[in-house]
Amino acid sequence: MRLRLKERITATVLANVYNSYDIIGDIVIIKTPNGDIENAKKVATEILKLYPRMVKAVFMQSSAVQSDFRIRQLTFLAGENRTITVYKEYGYLFRVDVERCYISPRLLFEHKRISDLVTPDEVVVNMFSGVGCFSIFIAKSSGSKVYSIDVNPVACKFMQENVRLNRVFDRVVPLLGDSKEIIVSQLRGVADRVLMPLPELAFEYLPYALMALKSSGGWIHFFDFQYAANRQVAIKETCRKVAMHLDALDVDYNFSFSRVIRSVGPCRYQTVLDIYVSELSSKFL
Ligand SMILES: C[S@@+](CC[C@H](N)C(=O)[O-])C[C@H]1O[C@@H](n2cnc3c(N)ncnc32)[C@H](O)[C@@H]1O
């Protein structure tokens, strides 16, 4: 996109917009280093002209991703002033309000990677589901049952809609609330696999992920953020810290896979670690 924009607007205007942007459905979200709205509007207008069929609205991200709900403030720039759209991944549809729910196209590969690991007879608990991307992807591709939790009522409402939209009502169970409380009260010992796609709460909520697993054990997909000199060090640090926590809980485990999902700033990485936990002691049941 930037290359095509270069032909249409001056370098000075374009310098006010970062290279990275999100395309979610027919909405584009651009980022600026200084919040310069006038130049951002010029860029937005050109984006609409360049992609009139694909893009219907352009917004500027005007805050960092924040709060428990992991959402960001947006400023309207051009096109239709609406923040609801339908985002498509591998043919699955996700209706979402991009300002009131978390959504990131950067998790696309991870959605597919984890879905490919799930077998039809498994029960899955997704502790931080957003509008249901992992949960619906898993239920659609493997046919397994997914308990899909989120604390944001708006995200949960869209998740329910997406369950209908993708026809997985018999397999995905949307649950509104704090995953810690829901696991303690309703989901102890039910899961073969637990997803933890919220790095900010990952270490605190790890004991609850263990509690959700069946006594025979199972898989945990653990997401983390690490400051590190490079990708290898980031992965090593995630493994070291998770091992420390699991050792303290006296759990038998092994790490089967790890990777950096993306770089999220200078020397800061999002990592994911697949953990296999074997037979759990009665303290988790
Ligand atoms: C990073 S987003 C999840 C992304 C999502 N899995 C996806 O693939 O698009 C984290 C989500 O966790 C939710 N959340 C935050 N704290 C929570 C809690 N204590 N219990 C359940 N959900 C929580 C937020 O509302 C947010 O939707």
- Give the other-Cβ count within 10 Å of 110's Cβ: 22
* pLDDT higher than threshold 80 for residue 6: no
102 lines ligand 1 (CB under 6 A): yes
> Which protein residue's CA is at the shortest distance from atom 24 of ligand 1?
69
Distance (Å) from CA 48 to ligand 1 centroid = 31
Query: In the chain, where are the structural domains located?
Result: 2-82, 104-284
* pLDDT higher than threshold 80 for residue 284: no
Mean pLDDT, residues 60-70 taken together: 95
* Ligand 1 closest atom vs CA 205: 19
Written as six digits, the tokens of 89 are: 């991944």
Residue showing tokens 């950096």: 260
- What is the reported pLDDT for 275? 98
* pLDDT higher than threshold 80 for residue 14: no
Tell which CATH architecture fits domain 2-82: 2-Layer Sandwich (3.30)
* pLDDT higher than threshold 80 for residue 282: no
**The pTM is what?**
0.94
Q: Which residues contact 247 (CB under 8 A, 6 or more apart)?
A: none
Residue-wise pLDDT for 199-258, tens only, equals: 999 999 999 999 999 999 999 999 999 999 999 999 999 999 999 999 999 999 999 999
Distance (Å) from CA 196 to ligand 1 centroid = 9
Distance (Å) from CA 132 to ligand 1 centroid = 10
Written as six digits, the tokens of 82 are: 């609406």
- What is the reported pLDDT for 190? 98
Backbone phi, psi, residue 96, to 5° = -155, 145
Distance (Å) from CA 157 to ligand 1 centroid = 13
- Do residues 74 and 61 lie in contact, with contact meaning Cβ atoms separated by under 8 Å? yes
**Which CATH number is 104-284's, of 2.60.120.260, 3.40.50.2300, 3.40.50.150, 3.40.50.300?**
3.40.50.150
Catalogue the E-assigned strands of the chain.
21-24, 27-30, 57-61, 74-79, 84-89, 92-97, 123-126, 145-150, 172-176, 193-196, 217-227, 252-265, 268-278
> Which protein residue's CA is at the shortest distance from atom 17 of ligand 1?
151
> Which protein residue's CA is at the shortest distance from atom 3 of ligand 1?
130
Written as six digits, the tokens of 81 are: 């002033």
> Which protein residue's CA is at the shortest distance from atom 16 of ligand 1?
68
Q: Give 197's pLDDT tier (boundaries 50, 70, 90).
A: very high
Written as six digits, the tokens of 276 are: 């296999």
Mutating to test ligand 1, I would choose from 101, 115, 124, 128 the residue with most ligand atoms within 8 A of its C-beta, which is: 128
Q: Which residues contact 193 (CB under 8 A, 6 or more apart)?
A: 117, 118, 122, 123, 124, 125, 218, 219, 220, 221
Written as six digits, the tokens of 60 are: 């500027």
89 lines ligand 1 (CB under 6 A): no
